[in-house]
Amino acid sequence: MLEAERTASSPGFRRPALGPVPKGPVYLLGLLAALRAAGLVLVAEAVARGIAALADGDLTAETTRLIVILGIAGALLRTGSEWATSVVARRIATGVKRSIRGRLWRRIAAGDASGGGTAVLASDGLDDLDDYYVSSLPATIAAAVVPLLIGIRVLGADWLSAVIIVLTVPLIPFFMVLIGKHTQQRTDEALSALTRLADHLAELARGLPVLVGLGRVDEQAAALEQLQRRYRERTQETLRWAFLSALALELVATISVAIVAVFLGLRLLNGTMELEPALLALILAPEAYNALRQVGTAFHASQDGLSALERSQAILDRPATPSLLVDSPTRSSLLAPSTGSSSSARSTRIETPTIRITDLTVRYAGRDAPTLTGLTADLTGIVSIAGPSGAGKSTLLAALTGTLPADAEVSGRISGAVTDAVGWAPQAPRAFAPTPGAELALYGADPLPALEELGLAHVSDAAVPELSPGEQRRLAVARALARIDAASPAEPVRGAAAHRVEALLVLDEPTAHLDRASADLVRAAILRRADRAVIVLASHEPETTALATMTIPVGALTPAAALAPAAGASAAPAPAADPFEIRGPVLSGPAIANGSSSQPAPASAPHRGSRLRLRTLLRGHRARWAGAIAMAALAIGFGLALTAVSGWLIVRASIEQHIMVLLVAIVGVRAFGIFRSVGRYAERLLTHDVAFRVVDALRLRLWHAIAARGAGSRRLLEGGAPLDYLVTLADDLRDQLPRVLPPIAVGVLSIAGTGITTWFVAPQLLLTVVLTLVLATAAASALAIWSERGAAAARVAARSDIVRGTAALATAAPDLRGNGVAEAALARLDGAAERLATAERRAAWAAGLGTAVVTAAATALAFLVPVLAPELTAAGASVIALLSLALLEPLVDLVAGAHRVPSMRALLRQLGPVLRPAPQPEWGEAEPPSPVAELALQAVTVRYPHTARPAVAGVDARADASSWLVLDGPSGSGKSTLLSAIMGALPLERGAILAAGSPRDRAATPALGTLPPHPPADIRRVAPSTAPNEQHAVYLLGARAGAPLTELDERAWKSRVAWCPQDAYVFDSTVRGNLLLARSREDAPDEATLRDALARAGLAPLLDTLAKGLDTRVGAGGSALSGGERQRLAVARALLTRADLILLDEPTAHLDAPTASAMMADVRAATADRVVVLVSHRAADRHAADAVVTLD
């Protein structure tokens, strides 16, 4: 993470905790620090002896040999210890992250930690520990070892310099703590802003289909932009103070070294000191300060890592949620591992076929009254839990499976036949694996037979988010059945064992969203397990509840009369006649918008424009980057000048007689030191500001790109993909940019500057110096890039797997826990963590090798200057030698930047395809009719890219305010695809969608559509209530119904349409907050309007039970509401919009018949002046006057 995030620490400046680190590697880091100090001393001895020998004219062969031996030994010790330190520190970081991440995953799976912030912490947040263990921990250990050993050697060379060092060194930690405490509050606010940003992005990504359907994408994008701007501004304010601490450390260290240099120069001028010990003290003094300065810099850099460590520990220290309900000696942990073998399950058969519930009471947080009160019942055979929507059916099933929310108040007891073999299909299933086949394998089944049983074999390799809700429902049932099959034999049980229960199968709305044929498959599969498990199900469909051998009522079984429509609503409609059918091809391509696929889509060739290029990314920010790089180059240049002039000053002082000659150099030393510190401060601010701006702009582009595909690519909306793109990958890129662009540019400029200086001071060494630096840097960079190339791709892929897997774990935790397969999912995440650890260890070796090459080259050049040019003056040799040592910082940063290039390229490759323009419909500039009073579809055909067959083909239909258009058909037949096309989210391959105003407006408007030469062959696609001799005329009217969408303005049309998708997402906010999304802030509905919308959706009784009314929070994803309550809240939200055209996708799913009929009557009353397109398998949702189109 960037410095701004790293400085965010809640407890302030305190002694860092090591975390779960073994002692051995810590002691090894101490030993390596001592070896590094020894290497520094030996190199300093070699350089000082060589320059002093040149000054004395006594550079003999013996002296040369000693210089070379000391230099080589010192270079080997320094490079070897630094390389080993980076490798050991990286291994420590990798081990700690794996340990903490694994424990966090298990708490998430157990239901003890949830939310977007926790998922970000367990995936992306823990990577901030790298800065702590790779930088801060080694620097802290080195600060305890290096200054001590160097101080001892300086004391042996010059006691006065040692005293100055001892007196000034404590100023560094003093200023670090003083300024750090002052920035504590601001850094806490920066961390809070980051957490809010992560939660906000995660919530926006999950609810993107809702925002698309309500036309609120642009408004939420503006909110995202404002959030990013506030975060950037607060971060910049924090950086000014955080980097002020680094500035103070730089100034203290620089001025202290300058004091040492001035004292040495004056004593050399007076003849009271020899040149060799003075040079030795001058070379070693900065290293003593640097060791402590690096602690301060690394401490600031690691604060976000420390914060992540503390937040992780706080989560891990929470008490685990106890299992208050399940009381059975055979019930193991909620994290029982998945197995495909039935042997263990057979060995734990239960002696009773009954589950006993005793005095069970459950009350959710924020509710005045309990959802369940004193329920006592015995469950055996096939049990149907009956009751109206919201009565507590899902609550009872969650209690049976141990998946109640952690904050629910529970009392009572459940005992009996509860085993580790539990099959659980929840009302809103969430998958962990990316494909149905992988999901079934996770649940211990042979995927193909399990999918074939429920008619899902054709989607085995499809992406789970791309399945229709009906297909996802069948997948959830298949998973539950797989758990039963894995625990019990398929053949009938005879003899004494026939009285023992093998497993528990719990199904919540198993046939919701399903067409008749698919529902029959599910019901038959349930009956096949009746002799092997106690089956407990909840359903509002009579055919499904008819399977039950006993019924347990929950809540008040309210008659239909008690659920009468709200005032002004018509009576519930009678069931419609059988719909007319349209014969057409079966969908075989990937149904991106709630569709399915019968076979995988062909792999598309790489798109030439799919790669995000760096120059495109930086467009609009190049001037800021140029300024940041220029400031970085100036800061490094001042630092190099400071070192070179200091060396020249010491040598000249040993031979000069008058101080006036040296005054310019003395002033220059102080000026260069101050300018370097100030330049570094300004460069950091500029670099971080432009990095934030670049990635903030990129994140908005990603948001709009995902939103543009929202109705056409569910793959981008689920499984953690939005969190991966918008948070993890974007933040990774933001981290990489400041660590790649300025270091590489500044490193190259530093080599050029050194070459120019050498040309002026020692032209005979120009070729040697330039070739050595260029070849060493090129070789080190090439080595780093070559060794990192494979590791970078593996690391980015593994991190994406972890981020998406963690997000999937957070959403699917109840499914995994209820089915007892959480350990199997955790094992997959552990595998991704191991792949990441392997890639990171490989990267550490690569980075260490590259750094070792340039360190060895620069060090060798420093001590070999007198040997290579014995005719050079001592002053000239000191400039080149010390300049070579000072070059280590920019050269090491250059190699580190080159080492990160493959990672940055891998990030750009991953982000590029998302930004590639998706196929979009054609639009015009005309305003839609106001209001839209009629919708007509003419031979509409929609085909997804790279698919052999269209998703829907040749659909003709019309709808107006008096006649809804009802879309029917089996799961995956393209109903939701057709809704997406009507919304304008998908382009048409053929045909047209037309919109018209009132009949009077149409009479005055010339026909814009092209009339077909004759009516379609299957004219029954129009309203069945129309007499056959009138159908042709009605069809022609529909063909002339206003303007096609291709001639309308995109924004204007989408503002006239509202979409309520299947299982519409409910945001982690209040009831009021969810409803207010229906309109813009300027047109926000008042409280009476909100209550009226809730009443029309049948939620007035629920509102009366909420302690805070409209301001009651509904939980993550609406977890505090039942499935039916969530669906009705989504319908109420759609009714609040100003749209003329309402698209309702399975609005009565999860509702009992009386509640559904009452709600639909209210919806019809509320939309009497609007055009409605309805997708529903429920015949009672239709009126006789509705036009019904059946897809197959």
3-state secondary structure of 776: helix
* 950's tokens: 């269209």
Look up residue 877 and give its DSSP letter. Answer: H
Please write down the HEC assignment for all residues of 926-964: ECCCCCCCEEEEEEEEECCCCCCCCCEEEEEEEEECCEC
pLDDT band of 303, cuts 50, 70, 90: low
Give mean pLDDT, residues 939-943.
88
pLDDT band of 8, cuts 50, 70, 90: very low
Per-residue pLDDT, 718: 53
Give mean pLDDT, residues 516-536.
89
pLDDT band of 799, cuts 50, 70, 90: confident
pLDDT at 2 over 50: no
CB distance 815 to 432 below 8 Å = yes
Lowest mean pLDDT among 545-549, 576-580, 834-838, 1089-1093: 576-580
Per-residue pLDDT, 1036: 38
Please write down the HEC assignment for all residues of 237-296: HHHHHHHHHHHHHHHHHHHHHHHHHHHHHHHHHHCCCCHHHHHHHHHHHHHHHHHHHHHH
Query: Whole-angstrom Cα distance, residue 17 to residue 239?
Result: 24
Mean pLDDT computed over every residue of the chain: 77
Give mean pLDDT, residues 1135-1147.
88
3-317+613-914: CATH topology: ABC transporter transmembrane region fold (1.20.1560)
pLDDT band of 1155, cuts 50, 70, 90: confident
Selected residue with higher pLDDT from 122 and 267: 267
Each residue of 635-652: pLDDT tens digit? 999 989 988 888 888 888
pLDDT at 1171 over 80: yes
Residue 990 β-bridge partners: 941
Each residue of 315-328: pLDDT tens digit? 777 766 555 444 44
pLDDT at 937 over 60: yes
Lowest mean pLDDT among 259-273, 454-468, 808-822, 1005-1019: 1005-1019
Shortest CA distance to 449 belongs to which of 541, 340, 370? 340
Q: Residue 724: which residues within 8 A CB-CB, separation 6 or more?
A: 800, 803, 804, 807
Q: Is 219 exposed, middle or buried (0-12, 13-18, 19+ CB in 10 A)?
A: middle
Query: Whole-angstrom Cα distance, residue 298 to residue 143?
Result: 11
What percent of the chain clears pLDDT 70, i.e. is strictly above it? 79
Lowest mean pLDDT among 5-19, 205-219, 880-894: 5-19
pLDDT band of 506, cuts 50, 70, 90: very high
pLDDT at 299 over 80: no
Give mean pLDDT, residues 984-992.
85
Each residue of 723-767: pLDDT tens digit? 678 777 888 888 889 989 999 999 999 999 999 999 999 999 999
Give mean pLDDT, residues 813-819.
87
Q: Is 909 exposed, middle or buried (0-12, 13-18, 19+ CB in 10 A)?
A: middle
Give mean pLDDT, residues 216-229.
80
Selected residue with higher pLDDT from 577 and 287: 287
Q: Give the start-to-end residue ranges of the domains of the chain.
A: 3-317+613-914, 339-443+468-558
pLDDT band of 42, cuts 50, 70, 90: very high
Each residue of 120-148: pLDDT tens digit? 677 767 777 877 888 888 888 998 898 88
Per-residue pLDDT, 66: 92
Residue 401 β-bridge partners: none
pTM of the model: 0.70
Per-residue pLDDT, 591: 30
Per-residue pLDDT, 17: 56
pLDDT band of 630, cuts 50, 70, 90: very high
Each residue of 574-601: pLDDT tens digit? 333 333 232 222 222 223 233 333 333 3
- CATH homologous superfamily of 339-443+468-558 equals P-loop containing nucleotide triphosphate hydrolases (3.40.50.300)
Stated as kind and residue range, the H or E segment containing 508 is strand 503-508
Query: Whole-angstrom Cα distance, residue 1134 to residue 1147?
Result: 11
Each residue of 384-396: pLDDT tens digit? 998 887 788 888 8
Q: Do the two domains 3-317+613-914 and 339-443+468-558 of this chain adopt the same fold?
A: no
What letter represents residue 1129's amino acid? L
Per-residue pLDDT, 629: 93
pLDDT at 41 over 90: yes
Give mean pLDDT, residues 917-927.
79
Selected residue with higher pLDDT from 678 and 654: 678
pLDDT band of 694, cuts 50, 70, 90: very high
Selected residue with higher pLDDT from 238 and 1172: 1172
Lowest mean pLDDT among 684-698, 788-802, 968-982, 1082-1096: 788-802
pLDDT band of 1153, cuts 50, 70, 90: confident
pLDDT band of 496, cuts 50, 70, 90: very low
Per-residue pLDDT, 194: 61
pLDDT band of 339, cuts 50, 70, 90: very low
